[in-house]
Amino acid sequence: MSADTQTSTEYIKHHLQNLTWGQLPEGYTRADGEVLETSTWTLAHSAQEAKDMGFWALNVDTVGVSLVLGALFLFLFSRAAKAASNGVPSGLVNFVEWIIEFIDSSVRGSFTARNALVAPLALTIFVWIFLMNLMDLVPIDWIPLLASSLGLHFFKAVPTTDPNATFGMSISVFLLVVYYSIKMKGLGGFVGELTLQPFGKFGLPANLFLEGVNLIAKPVSLALRLFGNMYAGEMIFILIALMGAAWAGASAGNAVLFGSQVLLSLGWGIFHILIVTLQAFIFMTLTIVYMDMAHQEHH
């Protein structure tokens, strides 16, 4: 939907709403006035319907775009691996080798233990999150307009602007951290870290509170940092689009105002490339650091 057929509030809400699939109960009155005769699994037609679907609702756009980008990542890297040879490498092979060397140096600089999982994990996190973040550079109306032409009420193209996606990734990292903490230190060592540091056995309640908060803060900070930065970037693109629509309505055909919007979009897009890359790098680096901490035994 375009900004000129909606109010500013409706335009913002539309672009920030996920395409949600879930179950609506029997007797539910939908946004278009339809009353459901039976409990129905369906796509939400409004934000209220998505909310009423409850915990088990699925954001189809987040899952779909994430899987497509994950498949693209696997395709490009597998193609580069097959094309690698002793001869002159192609541009794709050069690019993939550069990324792998960059990830390898990051892991060597931050991870002091030995674990064959960490480097592939870091590579997957960095490239996958980078690709998801990169969707934010697609013009704000293109994908919603395409979705609307296919009969879909909503479609958010940037998975990392959905907290469900960022928390899903951060909780996965958290579970790995807990697993390796117990594996490397034993259950007793892991519990001992939570209860005996930093004040010793006489400060057990305070130790448990401080270390518990520190442990839980890891996945929360990972998820919210990525979500917050990408959500804010998306909002700025939406506001620039609204500004352009307002200028077009006020002065139709004014080339100066149109040029100003183009420059704003281009400037923010170029700056946002740094944010897109930096957020993927931060998530990857913190994952490596947390995994390193999980492998270190405190005495």
Q: Hey, which residues are catalytic here?
A: 221, 225, 229
- 178's tokens: 């807990």
Q: Residue 198: is the preceding peptide bond cis (ω within 30°)?
A: yes
Alpha helix (H) ranges present in 197-254? 204-250
Which secondary structure element, helix H or strand E, spans residue 22, and what is its range? strand 20-24
Contact 71, 94 (CB under 8 A): no
Q: Give residue 268's region: left, alpha or beta (phi > 0; psi -120 to 50).
A: alpha
β-sheet with 20-24: strand ranges across: 40-43, 20-24, 58-59
Report the alpha-carbon distance of residue 3 to residue 139 in Å, rounded: 13
Q: Which backbone phi and psi does 43 adopt, to 5 degrees?
A: -85, 140
